[in-house]
Structure 1
Amino acid sequence: MPLRARWDAQFALAVLAAVLTTALTAVSFWLSFEALHDLATAHRLHGERAWAWPATVDAFIAIGELLILRASLAHRVDWAAITLTSVGSVGSIALNVAGVGVSHDPLDYVTAAVPPVAALLAFGVLMRQVHDYLVSRQPVVTAPPIPVIAPGPAVQESLEREEPKAVEETVPEPEDEPVVTEEPEPVAEPEEPLTQRDRIDAIVRGLYDSLGQRRPATRHMRDALADAGLPNSDGTCREARKRVETEEPHLRDLPDALAA
């Protein structure tokens, strides 16, 4: 399959997965809200207050997941966000199950517990998809230039004393020459930053040369991507190697390198 067609298929699948995950998240939260609304109605809350009360429980799940996403993009762990998500999830599950009351059928409790559990998992999957998309759109980070510190007055004065005085020479007056108009040099357009996918492919392609013209194993690619701070699952490594060998088919005929 051509690289362009494969990329279009992957993009379509990603969009479909995002749509289905969003729909699952909405349905799960709605079912959880319904159960908590019935529980609130049975305990002296009616009308708008009965519908607003479930938000005091389920909203913690959404807030905690969003804070976890922000911390993940910043490459750190937010224990407060994890605690918030856990408390909201456990509270929602417990209240949904408690709303069943006394029942001799265990499936009644299972049915009550499924919506809050599904809401937690579906929203987590949705945030994971958002994380992957945002990371793939981040440009390559380059190191900032190192500032040059000017020498102090004492050092500058010492350098000036060490410089030899220029010897004055008699320079003949230049003859009149025709004026030549220099053409302006073309301005090079700035290169677009590499996407995460391009960086992964470049690292995998370099392994063929660093391994002595051999096909890298999954272990080689995973270690190289991990050192670069990039996604390094087995599926990511294999897909990158397929893209590289599609661009350069002769690489498929190279002998396999042994994984250390």
Structure 2
Amino acid sequence: MSRRARSAPPVTRAALTSALVGTAVIAVGAFWLSFHALTDLALRSGVPREQAWVWPLIVDGVIIVSTVAVFALRGHSRVITTYPWALLLGGVVVSVVANGAHATLTETQVPDVIAVAVATVPPIALVAATHLSALLLDRTNPGAGSLSFPWPRRRPAPAAAAAKVETTPDAIAPAAQRVAKPADQRPSGRSRAMASEEQMRAWLDEQLAAGVKPTGASFAKRFGGSASTGRRRLAELKGELVDA
């Protein structure tokens, strides 16, 4: 960038406002004239009168949405911006050629070539606009994959959340004192987990107090072993609590 370009004064607000207002007036006038010319061309091409007004909206609508896409995709790679630019230029060419063809017509009916072109524009515009929307949507959620939406994460179930809570010695002691039984009354000859009977009873007491139904899988996850072993130990502990 040259020194002169860097030192150039910024555009004044008055100049910007005047340009924007003038652009809006030109856009409205041009759209109005183009709308009537393209509507008449659609009528002459065999489009019913009650539907002919839609054809200019399709042609000029492609120009509008592709222009918005060009500005929205500024800063992206040329591979991404090539399509909206091509769509914009294509819409401009169709609009200019159609307006020029309407100006040269002297008869009520148009040549077959023009009638075929008028009939093929709507489906082509539908496919082009849909692809453009997909392109913009894919750039709106980068890294999430094409046409993907950020769905909310599911919250863990209460039982799963309760199983992750680790009991501390301070919390185990009061519960163990309430449910503990003398050692000589415990079943003999049964396999013991690494955790003590007091810890197992305290965990079971906390689960029941929280309204959570303990399972063999949650017992095994907390103290180790298999789910079947957990179910057997739960049955033993529940039997001891009932006896208590």
Superposition TM-score tier, normalisation by shorter sequence? 0.3 to 0.5
> TM-score, normalized by length of structure 1?
0.34
Q: Which has the higher helix share?
A: 2
> TM-score, normalized by length of structure 2?
0.36
